[in-house]
């Protein structure tokens, strides 16, 4: 597993410098967590690492280098707070979509719901969507088997034919996790993936993600110090303007750490105080 090194990174929107001279190493096979107040630049940093920083008025510099000498292209999976499931595709079609898009001459218009006037069968009709999804058959059978295995791992194999609208928020986020696993990428960038969930579902998903993403290199953005402390090998606090990173906190023990760990609770108090003070000064 390779380290990913962000060297001397800078990013600005017009005159507003979000960060500059920023250095960060994501240890291979480990979880790095990033805390910080709203608007400090966490998502901007994630997007910079993913190579998604483009747009009018945006300037960037610095480098993101894999220590194994290869490019990061095609080696990143992304998981966001919104599950981004396509509502007219079943669970299994959603998690195999990436394979289908890459494995065929797929027409992007097929991602969008057909109009009523269209000659294509409405998606609500039984099996309509499958016949409407032309490259469905191009997902190799072994990939369908793998998708089913992953759905088993996230506890949703019985929901594989359901539409997202029939799932709870926690179940939908488990589908999003399954889609991330299906991508099978060594670097996983997560932008508050559990932020919208209730406390118990969030704890359960933290445990599941920790188990299933073992040995991947993960960068997790979260607003929740406890989440960072349960999952992170290294925890950084991004603060100020331009933003800088604090020294890493390395909580004791292996993730996912237990809530009964008293050291974790005291570190949580410290981090909450830091975040609160940061809010007072911004
Ligand atoms: N496209 C854009 N154009 C101009 N300014 C932007 C743009 N995107 C973000 N910003 C600004 O850059 C700063 C950093 O934004 P970013 O989304 O990275 O913050 P964040 O730490 O992820 O915030 P949050 O925790 O609220 O999601 C903010 O002040 C934001 O207003």
Q: Of all protein residues, whose CA lies closest to atom 26 belonging to ligand 1?
A: 38
pLDDT in tens, 231-265: 999 999 999 999 999 999 999 999 999 999 899 99
pLDDT of residue 120: 40
Taken in order of first residue, the domains within the chain and their CATH numbers are 1-75+186-282 (3.40.50.300), 88-184 (3.40.50.300)
Answer whether 171 contacts ligand 1 (Cβ < 6 A).
Answer: no
* DSSP single-letter state for residue 262: H
Answer whether 222 contacts ligand 1 (Cβ < 6 A).
Answer: no
Answer whether 44 contacts ligand 1 (Cβ < 6 A).
Answer: yes
Q: Of all protein residues, whose CA lies closest to atom 11 belonging to ligand 1?
A: 39
| Least confident stretch, 74-88, 110-124, 138-152, 193-207 | 110-124
> 18-25, long-range: CB within 8 Å, 24+ apart, which pairs?
18/44, 18/241, 18/242, 18/243, 19/44, 19/45, 19/238, 19/242, 19/243, 19/244, 20/242, 22/62, 22/243, 22/244, 22/245, 23/245, 24/236, 24/245
pLDDT of residue 231: 98
Q: Answer with the residue of higher pLDDT: 115 or 74.
A: 74
Confidence of residue 140 (pLDDT cuts 50, 70, 90): confident
Distance 241 CA to ligand 1 centre (A): 12
Classify the complex by whether its ipTM is higher than 0.95, answering yes or no.
yes
pLDDT of residue 174: 94
pLDDT of residue 99: 78
Distance 23 CA to ligand 1 centre (A): 19
Confidence of residue 55 (pLDDT cuts 50, 70, 90): confident
Residue carrying the six token digits 């696993």: 181
Average pLDDT over residues 160-176: 95
Residue 33: name the closest of 268, 276, 269, 279 by CA.
268
pLDDT of residue 4: 97
Is the pLDDT at 139 greater than 90, yes or no? Answer: no
Q: Answer with the residue of higher pLDDT: 114 or 35.
A: 35
Average pLDDT over residues 202-207: 93
Answer whether 40 contacts ligand 1 (Cβ < 6 A).
Answer: yes
Average pLDDT over residues 146-153: 94
Residue 181: name the closest of 152, 140, 224 by CA.
152
Distance 282 CA to ligand 1 centre (A): 14
Q: Of all protein residues, whose CA lies closest to atom 14 belonging to ligand 1?
A: 41
pLDDT of residue 240: 94
pLDDT in tens, 8-36: 999 999 999 999 999 999 999 999 999 99
Is the pLDDT at 230 greater than 90, yes or no? Answer: yes
- Phi, psi for 171 (deg, rounded to 5): -65, -40
Average pLDDT over residues 153-179: 95
Distance 56 CA to ligand 1 centre (A): 14
Question: pTM of the entire structure?
Answer: 0.88
Q: Of all protein residues, whose CA lies closest to atom 25 belonging to ligand 1?
A: 38
Distance 26 CA to ligand 1 centre (A): 22
- Rounded to the nearest 10°, the torsion over CA 213, 256, 272, 238 is -30
223: number of CA atoms within 13 Å, CB side? 15
Q: Is residue 225 within 8 Å of residue 269, measured between CB atoms?
A: no
Distance 10 CA to ligand 1 centre (A): 14
């Amino acid at each position: 597993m390779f380290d990913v090194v962000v060297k001397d990174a800078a990013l600005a929107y017009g005159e507003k410098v979000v960060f500059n001279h920023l250095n960060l190493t994501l240890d291979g096979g480990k979880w790095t967590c990033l805390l910080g107040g709203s608007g400090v630049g966490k998502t901007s940093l994630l997007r910079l690492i993913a190579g998604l920083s483009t747009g009018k008025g945006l300037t960037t510099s610095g480098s993101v280098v894999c220590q194994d000498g290869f490019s990061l292209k095609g080696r990143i999976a992304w998981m966001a707070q919104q599950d981004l499931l396509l509502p007219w595709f079943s669970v299994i079609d959603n998690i195999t979509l990436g394979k289908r898009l890459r494995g065929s001459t797929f027409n992007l218009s097929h991602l969008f719901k057909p109009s009523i006037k269209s000659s294509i069968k409405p998606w609500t009709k039984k099996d309509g969507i499958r016949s409407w999804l032309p490259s469905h058959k191009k997902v190799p059978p072994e990939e369908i088997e793998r998708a089913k295995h992953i759905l088993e791992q996230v506890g949703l194999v019985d929901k594989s034919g359901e539409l997202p609208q029939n799932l709870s928020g926690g179940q939908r986020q488990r589908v999003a996790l399954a889609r991330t696993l299906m991508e099978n990428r060594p670097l996983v960038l997560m932008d508050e993936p559990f932020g919208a969930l209730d406390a118990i579902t969030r704890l359960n998903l933290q445990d599941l993600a920790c188990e299933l993403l073992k040995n991947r290199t993960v960068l997790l953005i979260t607003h929740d110090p406890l989440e960072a402390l349960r999952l992170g090998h290294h925890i950084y606090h991004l603060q100020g303007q331009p933003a800088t990173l604090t020294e890493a906190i390395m909580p004791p023990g292996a993730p996912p750490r237990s809530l009964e760990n008293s050291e974790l609770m005291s570190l949580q108090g410290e981090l909450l105080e830091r975040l609160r003070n940061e809010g007072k000064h911004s």
